[in-house]
């Protein structure tokens, strides 16, 4: 691992010296002494010029009797990163000592153990990682009172959906992230983590996402993992429950919890893991003019699960009907809406009725991403006919029985 080290390289006929920055593309990214970052695809390493000093955390953590034990699993993202101002490198070791020394108030809520599972930006997540994460959480739930997962915010709702379906949990499993890294004055990391710690020891047995509820530092929302979506690129209150109420509001700094909707309570469900996902499932956003060849393409590659983000109530062009009819013979096709808010209803217009006749299944009020992960889960764990039936069955709160206006 060269990350964080000063190196001398030869590239493009010249010699460069600088600090190796974290890179997720496979290219070498150097921070030069003039402060600029430069990426190199081809280079020759001449010399490693030294190691960075490790930051030592002196604070000793004493386990407090009587406080619940909570496991924090880190997967990366902004919440786990700290910028080293000497180098500009973003680092994360994420030991319990590091977390507690950053946020000492955590030690008043629970005894924290920490595990660094991944250190990736969440756009680099994949179903195989969701499976591994679900297994780690499952193991942790056997001995801890709750689990917190720190995660990049971009795809947090996919991971939260995956764990919601794969894990039946009697205890809280709380995803948390940050829109601004902890070294920035406007960071949301501390408040989000403290609120999620409080949730992780509370009376709930579900997979939740805990993020800022407003642009001020006054409360966080706990969203159901299958009903939440990032709705803004940068606001601290970017996460919203869609077609559902948040599960709870956690006030800051009092950390009092207001439960806002019905929930699985702590101990209500048995701990169980279904650890298979079918990866050959695709989410396709329809737009005017998109050819149904896209469906044939994936079908010819062995895909048997399709989620379509249709227009309005759940439509695609009439040109698609014949293709969909054919594909529905051996595949599950679920219709969701690019409106996100509201429920799919294909009984209103002719296109919709034709889609239903072709075998397309209405995705009710499910988010497209939730429907995608659900279909991966269903095709991975059940036979085809059962999977088909379960699409419209509410399993873990992903479908609300009625839409409230």
Binding site for ligand GLU (CB under 6 A): 77-78, 121-123, 152-154, 177, 179
Q: Minimum Å distance from CB 234 to ligand GLU? A: 9
Report the catalytic residues.
78, 153-154, 230
Residue 173 to residue 71: CA distance in whole angstroms: 10
Q: Minimum Å distance from CB 5 to ligand GLU? A: 23
Q: Between residues 94 and 303, which has the closer beta carbon with respect to ligand GLU? A: 94
Q: Between residues 24 and 384, which has the closer beta carbon with respect to ligand GLU? A: 24
Largest Cα separation within the chain, whole Å, is 69
Please confirm whether the linkage preceding 279 is cis (ω < 30° from 0). Answer: no
Q: Minimum Å distance from CB 152 to ligand GLU? A: 2
Could you please report the per-residue DSSP string of 215-257? SSSSEEEEEETTSEEE--SS-TT-EEESSS--SEEEETTT--E
Locate 309 and state its tokens.
Answer: 């983000």
Q: Minimum Å distance from CB 169 to ligand GLU? A: 24
Q: Between residues 151 and 388, which has the closer beta carbon with respect to ligand GLU? A: 151
Q: Between residues 155 and 323, which has the closer beta carbon with respect to ligand GLU? A: 155
Residue 238 to residue 192: CA distance in whole angstroms: 13
Residue 59 to residue 140: CA distance in whole angstroms: 25
Q: Minimum Å distance from CB 375 to ligand GLU? A: 23
Parallel/antiparallel/unpaired status of strands 281-285 and 272-273 = unpaired
Inter-helix orientation angle 156-166/127-141, to 10°: 60
Q: Between residues 5 and 235, which has the closer beta carbon with respect to ligand GLU? A: 235
Locate 307 and state its tokens.
Answer: 């989620």
In eight-state DSSP terms, residue 53 is P
Comparing every residue's Cβ against ligand GLU, the nearest one is 152
> Quick one: which H or E segment has residue 371?
helix 368-381
């Amino acid at each position: 691992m060269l990350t964080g080290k000063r190196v001398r390289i030869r590239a493009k006929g010249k010699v460069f010296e600088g600090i190796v920055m974290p890179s997720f593309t496979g290219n070498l990214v150097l921070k030069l002494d003039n402060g600029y970052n430069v990426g190199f695809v081809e280079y020759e390493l001449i010399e490693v010029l030294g190691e960075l000093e490790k930051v030592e955390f002196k604070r000793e953590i004493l386990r407090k009797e009587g406080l619940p034990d909570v496991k924090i699993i880190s997967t990366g993202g902004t919440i786990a990163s700290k910028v080293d101002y000497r180098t500009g490198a973003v680092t994360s070791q994420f030991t319990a000592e590091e977390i507690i020394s950053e946020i000492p108030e955590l030690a008043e809520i629970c005894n924290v153990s920490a595990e660094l599972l991944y250190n990736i930006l969440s756009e680099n997540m994949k179903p195989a990682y969701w499976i591994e994460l679900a297994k780690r959480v499952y193991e942790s739930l056997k001995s801890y009172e709750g689990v917190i997962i720190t995660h990049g915010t971009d795809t947090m709702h996919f991971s939260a959906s995956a764990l919601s379906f794969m894990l039946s949990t009697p205890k809280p499993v709380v995803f948390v992230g940050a829109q601004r890294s902890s070294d920035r004055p406007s960071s949301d990391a501390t408040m989000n983590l403290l609120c999620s710690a409080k949730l992780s020891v509370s009376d709930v047995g579900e997979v939740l996402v805990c993020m800022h509820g407003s642009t001020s530092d006054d409360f966080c929302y706990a969203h159901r993992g299958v009903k939440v979506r990032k709705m803004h690129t940068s606001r601290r209150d970017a996460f919203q429950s869609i077609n559902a109420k948040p599960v709870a509001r956690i006030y800051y700094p009092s950390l009092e919890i207001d439960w806002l909707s019905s929930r699985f309570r702590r101990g209500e469900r048995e701990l169980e893991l279904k650890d298979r996902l079918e990866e050959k499932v695709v989410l396709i956003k329809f737009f005017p003019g998109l050819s149904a060849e896209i469906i044939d393409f994936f079908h010819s590659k062995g895909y048997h699960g399709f989620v379509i983000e249709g227009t309005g109530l759940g439509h695609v062009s009439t040109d698609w009907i014949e293709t969909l009819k054919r594909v529905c013979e051996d595949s599950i096709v679920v219709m969701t809406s690019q409106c996100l808010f509201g429920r799919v209803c294909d009984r209103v217009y002719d296109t919709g009725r034709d889609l239903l006749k072709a075998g397309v299944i209405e995705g009710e009020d499910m988010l497209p991403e939730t429907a995608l992960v659900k279909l991966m889960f269903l095709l991975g764990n059940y036979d085809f006919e059962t999977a088909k039936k379960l699409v419209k069955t509410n399993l873990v709160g992903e479908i609300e029985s009625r839409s409230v206006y």
